[in-house]
Amino acid sequence: MSSPYYRRVLLKLSGEALAGDQGYGIDPGTLTAIAHEIKEVVDMGVELALVIGGGNIFRGLAASSKGMDRASADYMGMLATVINSLAMQDALEKIGVITRVQSAIAMSEVAEPYIRRRAMRHLEKGRVVIFGAGTGNPYFTTDTAASLRAMEIGADVILKGTKVDGVYTADPKKDPTAVKFEQLTYIDVLGKGLQVMDATATSLCMDNNLPIVVFDITTPGNVKRVVTGEPIGTIVRGECS
């Protein structure tokens, strides 16, 4: 078995990744497949934390653009991320992966409160920690929550699982001439407006020199490939080699 290149990682998944081909809600087959991908790297001794978006259930920004109060819409989006977190916890524990959900919004009946030192202790014990409810603040995305939590727990890298195998000059599904980037700097991402993570999240990673790897989560075995250092997807860091 290949040895891990990264020892502690934060995996960021969009809510849409859980919806599968149905485009909305949670697809049980997709959820189980991702859970098995996670188990594979946890069994290698990798400490793994998760942040999952809520766009498959409710997207605050989209609702606010249609007249809903932005803060209220964002809180609803945070609750959607907790639903996804509990679904992922169930899928992981069914295949023997011990998991804890920590929520940035207090809901003690279903999740622990987010406590940094407790989260790190769970990771040290080999448990997967799922961070729900974003940062707990409106106007911040789950991308920003992923960057913030990754920094707080001392992660080596953010792995951003998407439905595309990296970052391209344009949408490869719409533009056949789109070219894939193998490596990018944070400045490239910010300057070119590339859809890696939002500007706040990217700036946070840049300030703390935390690399981001964007890869295709839908290909079986890809999480393990990234964790063992295989050059798949697109890596974003301070300077390209």
Q: pLDDT for 116-160, tens place per residue?
A: 999 999 999 999 999 999 999 999 999 999 999 999 999 999 999
As for how many domains the chain has, the answer is: 1
What pLDDT score does 207 carry? 95
1 part of a folded domain: no
Give the pLDDT of the chain (241 residues) as one tens digit per residue.
578 999 999 999 999 999 988 889 999 999 999 999 999 999 999 999 999 999 999 988 888 888 999 999 999 999 999 999 999 999 999 999 999 999 999 999 999 999 999 999 999 999 999 999 999 999 999 999 999 999 999 999 999 998 889 999 888 888 889 899 999 999 999 998 888 899 999 999 999 999 999 999 999 999 999 999 999 999 999 876 5
Q: How far apart are CA 200 and CA 221, in angstroms?
A: 30
Residue 34 lies in a domain: yes
Contact indicator for 78, 135 with CB cutoff of 8 Å? no
In a domain, 3, yes or no: no
Cβ-based neighbour number of residue 175 at 10 Å: 11
Within 8 A by CB and 6+ apart from 135, the residues are 104, 144, 145, 148
Which letter, b or e, does each residue of 109-138 get, where b requires 16 or more Cβ atoms within 10 Å of its Cβ?
Answer: eebbebeeeebbebbeeebbbbbbbbbbeb
Q: What is the pLDDT of residue 21?
A: 87
Contact, 196 vs 160, CB < 8 A? Answer: yes
CATH code for the domain in which residue 142 is found = 3.40.1160.10
Looking at residue 241, its pLDDT comes to 54
The Cβ-side half-sphere exposure at 1, using a 13 Å CA radius, reads 11
Q: How high is the pLDDT of residue 1?
A: 54
Domain assignment of residue 143, yes or no: yes
The domain in which residue 61 lies consists of 8-237
Residue 240 is predicted with a pLDDT of 61
Q: Is residue 2 part of a domain?
A: no
Judged on CB neighbours under 10 Å (0-12, 13-18, 19+), 65 is exposed
Predicted pLDDT of residue 221: 95
Structural domain contains residue 57: yes
Rounded CA Rg of the chain: 17
Instruction: Please check whether residue 128 lies inside any domain of the structure.
Output: yes
Q: What is the pLDDT of residue 2?
A: 74
Q: How far is it, in rounded angstroms, from Cα 228 to Cα 144?
A: 25
Number of H helices, E strands in the chain: 9, 11
Q: What's the predicted TM-score (pTM) here?
A: 0.94
